[in-house]
Chains A and B, each alone.
Chain A
């Protein structure tokens, strides 16, 4: 994975830049005041983002928040109603030919013809680009080597996902836009994908990663934008965002007997009481753990399996938006 055709895209040194490529632009992407409306539905209300070259930038938010529409506008798949977009200084519509050479895209819900073989699909896409990546190496890195002669229809979900990531990288892009890259991957494959993304970034490729997995953003991203209801509600490093929720603590437990939520929510330290199956999740501040245990004890209720967290990215999101990130009931409603 060292010196290779893939690496030439990165141009980490500005000295030896291929003449055909535009001058190295300090910003990989600059989106200002983006707005996109479908009929009555405001998909993106007002999104502005500046993404530096070489960073892994997370676009995070619940399903339907406008993440996908934002990146689809950025890569020229959709025409925004307002706002301006520059990728590497290029306009997604006016400079689309040049942009498509430099930006690799992995889309949600895009398949390949059932009766093409993995190697054929990759070779076809590779031939579209001026300065493509090394095919054998990419196949190797993405663990598709023994699937090369297999029809697309015979691939598992995870293998299709990896092929789709491979297609995003086959053109040796300067920016890779990955939309829900690890959705549908098992935890092991997800970790492998994260390693892969870090490896690509280390070659200087800018990664724009759309996800609704907190853990993914927390482990992988240099900076994260929270998008909710078509707006950027926060933009910071994962650590910076977590710090904003620093005061928030969470206690999880299984009660020995049912109890009235009011006995907890009446406590000044408690801000929120939720039920997650048989578990109760209490968020709050101060000496939350003792407050909860004592209040329950007074009612003759014992807390089992007690867990205690300080804030993480997910809490920061809840605090900033009042929404939970992984709203499973919305999962199916996503178009």
Chain B
């Protein structure tokens, strides 16, 4: 991926990357793990939460917010986490398992472009999923539009940047696509706990919330919740996400196994 960002691609390279990208998009459409888990599931969840009448009552335990308002950011990040940790890693592991990466490495197309194409496809689904959840919450359940759309964009992009390397790391260590799915799930549940899926962050004991602030999904939920309800998010959660993006990105680059 660094090769992509460090030089300006020639027209021919752009065509080749476009073909690889289209191909990955095609495969994602035909084997829609990411579309189901990352897009359909969050939309279904937000529709369920929106139809629970008590979820629209303001709660003092939630700092005057309604449970629905608290869960919109959590559901958005659940979608992004599923995409980054499961949908991104599984195809890459199966490409390696089946010798597809090896075969591609004997062609003039750099294999890293395949990784880049997967990341672009999955990141696009993550953006679409965020928009879908926000639009459903506004149109179907009367949630106000985000106070800081720019803040939402920054929070979502940094979350994608912080979480995708985790998926690439899973892909580095898993030997089979099934293994990747198991490792992904083992990481997903504790991370979602700190995102506030079972216990909203506002109701967490101080110590848990402090930990949560420094987990990728805790910081992500904090950032996007602020952007939706208050305004541009504070620096801390954004810096936490950026830190994960840099450190995990480096590790993923360092440890990614092509065979």
Q: Does B63 make an interface contact (CB < 8 A)? A: no
A177 to chain B, nearest CB (A): 9
For residue A116, which residues in chain B have a CB less than 8 angstroms away from its CB?
23, 26-27
Q: Bound state CA distance, A127 and B16, in angstroms?
A: 6
Contact A130–B100 (Cβ < 8 Å): no
A174 to chain B, nearest CB (A): 14
If A115-B31, A116-B27 touch, whether A128 touches B109 (CB-CB below 8 Å) is: yes
For residue B26, which residues in chain A have a CB less than 8 angstroms away from its CB?
116, 120
Q: Can you list, as one digit per residue, whether each of B64-105 has a CB less than 8 Å from chain A (1) or not (0)? A: 000000000000000000000000000000010011101101
Q: Can you list, as one digit per residue, whether each of A85-120 has a CB less than 8 Å from chain B (1) or not (0)? A: 000000000000100110101010111110110001
Q: Does A76 make an interface contact (CB < 8 A)? A: yes
Q: Does B44 make an interface contact (CB < 8 A)? A: no
For residue B16, which residues in chain A have a CB less than 8 angstroms away from its CB?
127-128
If A107-B102, A110-B102 touch, whether A115 touches B108 (CB-CB below 8 Å) is: no
B51 to chain A, nearest CB (A): 35
Q: Bound state CA distance, A239 and B20, in angstroms?
A: 47
For residue B12, which residues in chain A have a CB less than 8 angstroms away from its CB?
130
Contact B23–A100 (Cβ < 8 Å): no
A111, A130, A171: the one contacting B98 at CB < 8 Å is: A111
Q: Does B106 make an interface contact (CB < 8 A)? A: yes
Interface contacts (Cβ under 8 Å), in number, total 60
Interface members, chain B 13-36 (any A CB < 8 Å): 15-16, 19-20, 23, 26-27, 30-31
A84 to chain B, nearest CB (A): 20
Interface members, chain B 98-153 (any A CB < 8 Å): 98-100, 102-103, 105-109
Q: Does A129 make an interface contact (CB < 8 A)? A: yes
The A contact surface, by secondary structure, is loop
Chain A: CB-nearest residue to B98:
A111
Q: Bound state CA distance, A117 and B7, in angstroms?
A: 33
Chain B: CB-nearest residue to A123:
B19
Contact A127–B19 (Cβ < 8 Å): yes
Counting chain A residues whose Cβ lies within 8 A of the other chain, the interface size class is: 20 to 34
Chain B: CB-nearest residue to A98:
B108
Q: Can you list, as one digit per residue, whether each of A56-94 has a CB less than 8 Å from chain B (1) or not (0)? A: 000000000000000000011100000000000000000
Residue among B15, B20, B95, B109 facing the most chain A CB atoms (10 A cut-off) = B109
B19, B99, B108: the one contacting A100 at CB < 8 Å is: B108
For residue B20, which residues in chain A have a CB less than 8 angstroms away from its CB?
124
Q: Bound state CA distance, A112 and B101, in angstroms?
A: 10
Q: Bound state CA distance, A115 and B100, in angstroms?
A: 13
Chain A: CB-nearest residue to B107:
A128
Q: Does A259 make an interface contact (CB < 8 A)? A: no
Contact B95–A113 (Cβ < 8 Å): yes
A107, A112, A113, A127: the one contacting B106 at CB < 8 Å is: A107
Contact B23–A77 (Cβ < 8 Å): no
For residue B19, which residues in chain A have a CB less than 8 angstroms away from its CB?
123-124, 127
Contact B106–A128 (Cβ < 8 Å): no
Contact B15–A112 (Cβ < 8 Å): no
Q: Bound state CA distance, A130 and B16, in angstroms?
A: 11
Contact A125–B106 (Cβ < 8 Å): no
Contact A115–B103 (Cβ < 8 Å): no
A179 to chain B, nearest CB (A): 11
For residue B103, which residues in chain A have a CB less than 8 angstroms away from its CB?
105, 107, 110, 112, 167
Residue among B12, B15, B95, B103 facing the most chain A CB atoms (10 A cut-off) = B103
For residue A171, which residues in chain B have a CB less than 8 angstroms away from its CB?
107-108
If A100-B107, A128-B107 touch, whether A112 touches B102 (CB-CB below 8 Å) is: no
Query: With A111-B98, A112-B103, A113-B27 given, can you name 18 additional A-B contacts, CB distance below 8 Å?
Result: A77-B105, A97-B108, A100-B106, A105-B103, A109-B99, A110-B100, A110-B102, A112-B98, A115-B27, A115-B30, A116-B23, A116-B26, A120-B26, A127-B15, A127-B19, A128-B16, A128-B107, A128-B108
- Residue numbers of B with Cβ under 8 A of A are 12, 15-16, 19-20, 23, 26-27, 30-31, 95, 98-100, 102-103, 105-109
Kindly list the 3 A-B residue pairs having the minimum CB-CB distance in the complex, ordered from nearest: A110-B99, A111-B98, A115-B30
